[in-house]
Amino acid sequence: MLIREATAADWPEIWPFLRRIVAAGETYTWPRDVDEATARRLWLPGPPARAVVAVDDAGTMLGTAKLAPNQLGPGDHVANASFMVSPAAGGRGVGRALGAHVLDLARAEGYRAMQFNAVVASNERAVALWRSLDFAVVGRIPEGFRHPSRGYVDLLVMHRRL
Amino acid sequence: MLIREATAADWPEIWPFLRRIVAAGETYTWPRDVDEATARRLWLPGPPARAVVAVDDAGTMLGTAKLAPNQLGPGDHVANASFMVSPAAGGRGVGRALGAHVLDLARAEGYRAMQFNAVVASNERAVALWRSLDFAVVGRIPEGFRHPSRGYVDLLVMHRRL
């Protein structure tokens, strides 16, 4: 697995699985019917945001991650990151590899901490992954997410220092 | 005091004190040197966001508030709100009046809760005001804010049901 900077040429390979993940409505606070132009602008907004992709030895897209300041101005020393792993590449440690890579990247960019604002509490694999990468739950928004089958579930704010 | 929908014509009266509040760098996670076009886009982005202004009997601008979904898609039932009170109008209950108004407005728009993502912990008047309006601290970002005189201070996530 290679993790490298995303380029504009990667988007056509990102969009099909990103669209599928967002449409499922189980993990992201994005409009489930997001159009491609909006999705691209959200995922690849340009500096100061960064995006990377994970590809296998044959160059097949496995997943992608985005790194950006979580707040602006006096809050821009805390990073935010988002992750999308192709369902076809599940169970291969892509999320963990992207997480570790983005933590290193955030450190290199000078961020002091990383924060996730909206981890869906029912997304147990994600919560367990971030805990294993030393994130702690520092906040909980009661019923902040409408899950398509579980109804209202909490959103977690997760954080770690870098 | 009258609180009414903001119009494009209100912006020239909002910008001077909004700029001053943001430049002080003590309460907002905005770039301290924000330019006018960016500030206007952030404060008056248009639907689904709403903005209101508080004016006195002579029509003088006292403060303004913005209401918008805190997240999109499956998170858009939770509102976010932001408040700017003209320093010239401090101590007159403008923040409280705007807060109560925006809570009513959010209820009328069908939101189920309201959330603030980044209340600066050292902004004790704001924290006390939101507590008095039944907000609870549901999260705390350690050292999430660079205060110009106090150094790194925590950011609070505050929340209440509607």
Strands (E), chain B: 2-5, 50-55, 61-69, 78-85, 113-120, 136-147, 151-161
Q: Is B128 exposed, middle or buried (0-12, 13-18, 19+ CB in 10 A)?
A: exposed
Categorize the per-residue pLDDT at A37 as very low, low, confident or very high, splitting at 50, 70 and 90.
very high
B115 reaches A (C-beta below 8 A): yes
Residue B18: the pLDDT is 98
Q: What's the confidence (pLDDT) of residue B54?
A: 98
Instruction: Share the mean pLDDT of chain B.
Output: 97
Question: Rounded to two decimals, what is the model's pTM?
Answer: 0.96
Which chain A residue shows the shortest CA-CA distance from B31? A73
Question: Parallel, antiparallel, or unpaired: how do β-strands B78-85 and A151-161 relate?
Answer: unpaired
Decide if the complex's ipTM is over 0.85: yes
Backbone angles phi, psi at A160, to 5 degrees: -150, 150
Task: Report pLDDT for A56.
Answer: 96
Q: Do residue A157 and residue B145 have CB atoms under 8 angstroms apart? A: no
> In the structure, what pLDDT confidence band is assigned to residue B137 with cuts at 50, 70 and 90?
very high
pLDDT digits (tens, 9 = 90+) for B2-28: 999 999 999 999 999 999 999 999 999
Residue B152: band (very low, low, confident or very high) from pLDDT cuts 50, 70, 90: very high
B23 touching chain A per CB within 8 A: no
3-class DSSP state of A27: coil
Q: If DSSP codes are grouped into helix, strand and coil, which group holds residue B154?
A: strand
* C-alpha closest to that of B39 among B3, B82, B5, B73: B82
Summarize pLDDT for A84-121 with one digit per residue, the tens.
999 999 889 999 999 999 999 999 999 999 999 999 99
B29–A142 CB contact, under 8 Å:
no
Chain A residue with CA closest to B138: the answer is A139
Q: What is the DSSP letter of A109?
A: T
Residues A90, B48: contact at Cβ < 8 Å? no
**pLDDT (tens digit per residue) in A14-26:** 999 999 999 999 9
Percentage of the residues of chain B whose pLDDT score is greater than 90:
99
Of B2, B25, B21, B4, nearest to B88 (Cα)? B21
Contacts of B143 in chain A (CB under 8 A): 112-113
Interface test with A, best of B34, B78, B111 (most A CBs within 10 A): B78
Tell me the per-residue pLDDT of A44-87, one tens digit each, with 9 for 90 and over: 999 999 999 999 999 999 999 999 999 999 999 999 999 999 99
